[in-house]
Chains A and B, each alone.
Chain A
C-alpha cells in the first residue's frame, strides 16, 4: 500500500477499523457479521478521498464511522477513528452530538428522503449552524444564500422558503450540500450524492460540489460505486471489497495504473459486445400515441411512434420525466392513450387493460427496476415463478415442477433456490427470479423498466448477458427502458431518445449513436462520466444546453 501521508496531522485518520453487526436471518439464531475489517485510511485538510466499491463493500459504513454513527445494529468494535487527533470511537453520546453537524457533516444519497417534508429548506439548512451556535441566525442565512449561489441554485435568495417537494431532485442534492457546508465543518461525508440523479443532472451537481469543496477548503469523503464519477472529484481513492481494502492510491494511480485484478475489472469498460440486427416485420408498433394522466392537463406522451422487431431490443432512453415509463404503461394498457394505437403481432391491442384477452396479457410481460417490491415477500421463489405457469398454462404437479426447474436453469440458479424467500436472495438473484417469472408466460415481448439501475456494475453486466442470451434462445423481444447509455450500447438494436414526452431521435443503434447529433442527444451522450481525469471540466466547457431537470 503506498504511503500517502504528508507531514501534517490528518484531519481524519482511521486506523485498523473493524465494524460488526448482528444479523437476524429468518429461522436461525442471530449471528455476528464483520462488515469492515482492518481498514486504515486518512484524509488531509482540503483533500478529497474517494471510497469506492460495490454494495456491501462497507463504503457507507466507513463513511458514517467518521461521525461514529452506525445504522441499525452496526457497531464500531475495533481500531481507532481519529478526528482532529481525538479518538471519537470511544466518545459518548453527548460528546458525539457536539461533533456531529459541526465538525463533520453528511450528504445523503437521496436528498428527497433526507429532508424533513414538513419544514422549509432554510430552516433545515441552518439548523445545525444555529444548534451548535456557530453563527447568529442572520449570519447563517446570509451564508446559506451565498452557498446556494455558489452551488448554482436558481433564485438563491428565495429558494430557502420552499419545501422539499417544491424543488427538483438535482436541486435538493445541492441544497443538501449547502446544508453540509453551512456550519463550516472540517470534513463532509458525501454518500453517493449523485447516484439517484440523471446523468445530465449529475454533471451539474458534480461540478457544483467540486467547486464548493475547492472554494471552502473543506476535507471530504466521497462515497460512490461509480469509478468514473470519483475520478473527477477525488485526490486519493480507496477501493473496497467485502469490507476490506483492496487498493489505496492517488486517483491517477488507481485510474491509470491499477495494480489489483479487482480494480482492473472496475476500471475496464463493459465486456458485452452486441451486434445490432436489422429491422424486420415489427411485432410491436406504437403509432402516434398521445397520453396524459387523469386529472392533469398536459400530455406526458406526445405523438410517439416506434417499432420493435421480433427477437430484437428497442432501447428507450431519456432522463426522468421524459415519458419512458409512461410509454410502458400505455403499451401494457395501464394508461389508455388519448390518441393513436398500439399494434401487437399483427392485431390492434385494446387500449384498456380490462378488454385484453388472456393471450394479450401472456405475450406481453414486464420486469421492473425494484425486484424487491415486485415480489411478494411472503412467497417462495417456487410459488412466485409457479404462479404464471398455473395461471396461463394450467400446469400443476410434476409438469409444473419440470418447467420450474427448466426456468431456474435458464436464469442460472440451482434447485436449492426454489424454497427460498426473496429476502434471502441478493439483488442480482432477485432480478433473475423476476426474469424467470416473466419468461414463464412464454411472452413475445418483455418490457424491461430500468432493470439494472439498482444493481452494481458487475452484477448488472451479468443480468444483461443473461437477457441477451435468453433473447437468442427464446426469440423474445425487449422494450428496454433506461437512462444509462452504457447499457444501451451493450444491448440495443434500435434506440428511441425521449425528451419531454417526445421521441427526438430514433433509428438503428449505429445511426443514433453516430454524429451529427441533435442538441439533446449530444447532451445525453456527453454527460456519461468517462473514466479519465479532467473529463468534468472539459465537458462543462463544451456544453450546448442544460438538462430539463434543472
Chain B
C-alpha cells in the first residue's frame, strides 16, 4: 500500500501543475486583451495597413489564439521562451542571468530574514507583553509600514551618503568574487529583510502563543523545563505549519516582489528586466517573466503545503 503522505503530496503537486497551466492561460489571455497588438507597437508611427498586415503575418498573429497558445506552451516546455521583439534576442538566455541575480538577492535576504524572524518571534513569546516584545513589535511594524522605496532611499541617505558604509548602487557583473557581490547587494538585502521580517515574526509569535494554550505545555512546565526550552522544544514543533506558510509567502515575495527594490538600487535582476520590457510593450518577454514568476510563486506554496503535511505526525505516522 502507498503511504498516505505520498498520496497527499502527489495530490498537492498535481494541483500545483494544474494551477500553473491555468496561470499560463491567464497570462496569455491577459497580454492579448491589451489594446493594440505587437505589430502596432513595433511599427508605432510608421504603421500603414499594408506593413501591419505583413508584420502580423510574419509574427504569426493571424493564427487563431488557441493555436498560438499551444505553440507558445509547447515552446516553453522545451525551454524556448521565444525571442524578444525589441532586440530579437533569445529571452531564455537574456533572462537566465537576471533570474540568477534575483535569486541570489532573494536567497541572501531569506538566509538572514527567516532565522531572524523566528528567533525574534520566540523572544517575543518568551517576554510577551513586556518591553522586549513591545520593542520588537513596534520596530517590525514600522518597517513593514514604510513603503520599500522610501526605506531604500532612507537607507541610501544614511548608510551610503552620510556614513559611506555601503554602495548605493547594487552593480554586479561577471568576474566579481562572492565577497564583492555580497558587499554590492548589502543595501537591497537590508531593505528586503526589513520588508519581510514583520509578517514572519508576527506569525511565529501568534502561532506559538496559540500552541502555548495546550495542555501539553502545562505538562512541560510541570516537568521543570525553562520557559525558553518549553517554547523552542514543545511549542515550536507544533507551530511549524502556519509559520512555514507565511515564510513561503514571504520568500515568494522576495523573488516576485522585488521590482521596486531592484529599480531603486539599479540591480540587474528580473524586476528591472520586466519593467523595461513592459514599457516597450515587448509581449513575449512580459509573458515569459509572468510565467516564471507564477511558477516560483506556485512552487514555493506547494513546498509550504508539503512541509506542513510532513510536519504533521498524524499524517507522517498513521495508526
Q: Which residues of A contact B (CB under 8 A)?
A: 64, 67, 69, 71, 96-102, 105-106, 108, 110, 113-119, 127-128, 131-132, 162-163, 165-166
Q: Do A114 and B317 touch (CB < 8 A)?
A: no
| Chain B positions 205-222 with a Cβ under 8 Å from a chain A Cβ | 214-216, 218-222
- The contact of B222 among A106, A116, A118, A132, by CB within 8 Å, is A106
Q: Which residues of B contact A101 (CB under 8 A)?
A: 222-225
Q: Which residues of B contact A69 (CB under 8 A)?
A: 221-222
Q: List 30 A-B contacts (CB under 8 A).
A: A64-B222, A69-B221, A69-B222, A97-B224, A99-B224, A100-B221, A101-B222, A101-B225, A105-B223, A106-B222, A108-B215, A108-B218, A110-B215, A113-B216, A114-B215, A114-B218, A115-B216, A116-B220, A116-B238, A117-B238, A118-B237, A118-B238, A119-B237, A127-B225, A131-B225, A131-B229, A132-B224, A162-B317, A166-B317, A166-B319
Q: With contacts A98-B224, A108-B215, A165-B319 known, what are 4 further pairs, Cβ within 8 A?
A: A106-B219, A114-B216, A115-B216, A116-B216
A163-B234 Cα distance, complex, nearest whole Å: 14
A116-B317 Cα distance, complex, nearest whole Å: 15
Q: Which residues of A contact B237 (CB under 8 A)?
A: 116, 118-119
Bits for B223-257, please: 1 = Cβ < 8 Å to A, else 0: 11110010000100110000000000000000000
- The contact of A97 among B215, B226, B319, by CB within 8 Å, is B226
Known contacts A117-B314, A118-B313; decide if A100 and B224 are in contact (CB<8 Å).
yes
Q: Which residues of B contact A115 (CB under 8 A)?
A: 216, 219
Min CB–CB distance A129 → chain B (angstroms)? 10
Name the residue among A96, A118, A119 with the largest chain B CB count within 10 angstroms: A118
Bits for B251-287, please: 1 = Cβ < 8 Å to A, else 0: 0000000000000000000000000000000000000
Min CB–CB distance A91 → chain B (angstroms)? 12
A117-B211 Cα distance, complex, nearest whole Å: 11
Known contacts A110-B215, A113-B214, A113-B215; decide if A165 and B222 are in contact (CB<8 Å).
no
Min CB–CB distance B235 → chain A (angstroms)? 9
Known contacts A114-B218, A115-B216; decide if A163 and B313 are in contact (CB<8 Å).
yes
Q: Do A127 and B223 touch (CB < 8 A)?
A: yes
Known contacts A118-B238, A165-B313, A166-B319; decide if A108 and B221 are in contact (CB<8 Å).
no
- The contact of A114 among B219, B238, B313, B314, by CB within 8 Å, is B219
Chain B interface SS verdict (over half): helix
Q: Do B218 and A100 touch (CB < 8 A)?
A: no
Bits for B187-219, please: 1 = Cβ < 8 Å to A, else 0: 000000000000000000000000000111011
Q: Which residues of B contact A (CB under 8 A)?
A: 214-216, 218-226, 229, 234, 237-238, 311, 313-314, 317, 319
Q: Which residues of B contact A102 (CB under 8 A)?
A: 224
Nearest CB in chain A to that of B314: its residue: A165
Q: Do B224 and A131 touch (CB < 8 A)?
A: yes
Known contacts A114-B216, A117-B216; decide if A163 and B225 are in contact (CB<8 Å).
no
Min CB–CB distance A321 → chain B (angstroms)? 13
Name the residue among A71, A102, A115, A127 with the largest chain B CB count within 10 angstroms: A127
Min CB–CB distance A196 → chain B (angstroms)? 12
Q: Which residues of B contact A114 (CB under 8 A)?
A: 215-216, 218-219
Nearest CB in chain A to that of B214: its residue: A113
A113-B215 Cα distance, complex, nearest whole Å: 6
Q: Which residues of B contact A100 (CB under 8 A)?
A: 221-224
Q: Do B313 and A97 touch (CB < 8 A)?
A: no
A69-B238 Cα distance, complex, nearest whole Å: 24
Q: Which residues of A contact B319 (CB under 8 A)?
A: 165-166
Nearest CB in chain B to that of A115: its residue: B216
Min CB–CB distance B163 → chain A (angstroms)? 43
Nearest CB in chain B to that of A100: its residue: B224
A117-B214 Cα distance, complex, nearest whole Å: 10
Known contacts A98-B224, A166-B319; decide if A108 and B314 are in contact (CB<8 Å).
no
A118-B317 Cα distance, complex, nearest whole Å: 11
Q: Do B313 and A117 touch (CB < 8 A)?
A: yes
A69-B224 Cα distance, complex, nearest whole Å: 11
Q: Do A116 and B234 touch (CB < 8 A)?
A: yes
Nearest CB in chain B to that of A102: its residue: B224
A50-B317 Cα distance, complex, nearest whole Å: 38
A69-B221 Cα distance, complex, nearest whole Å: 9
Min CB–CB distance A296 → chain B (angstroms)? 12
Q: Which residues of A contact B218 (CB under 8 A)?
A: 71, 108, 114
Nearest CB in chain A to that of B239: its residue: A118
Nearest CB in chain A to that of B240: its residue: A118
Min CB–CB distance B66 → chain A (angstroms)? 39
Q: Do A97 and B225 touch (CB < 8 A)?
A: yes
A165-B219 Cα distance, complex, nearest whole Å: 17
Min CB–CB distance A330 → chain B (angstroms)? 24
Q: Which residues of A contact B221 (CB under 8 A)?
A: 69, 100
A548-B166 Cα distance, complex, nearest whole Å: 71
Min CB–CB distance B306 → chain A (angstroms)? 17
Q: Which residues of B contact A96 (CB under 8 A)?
A: 224
A116-B235 Cα distance, complex, nearest whole Å: 9
Q: Do A67 and B216 touch (CB < 8 A)?
A: no
Min CB–CB distance A111 → chain B (angstroms)? 9
Nearest CB in chain B to that of A71: its residue: B218
Q: Which residues of B contact A118 (CB under 8 A)?
A: 237-238, 311, 313
Min CB–CB distance B224 → chain A (angstroms)? 4
Min CB–CB distance A384 → chain B (angstroms)? 26
Nearest CB in chain A to that of B316: its residue: A163
A113-B313 Cα distance, complex, nearest whole Å: 15
A113-B214 Cα distance, complex, nearest whole Å: 7
Min CB–CB distance B150 → chain A (angstroms)? 41
A178-B221 Cα distance, complex, nearest whole Å: 18
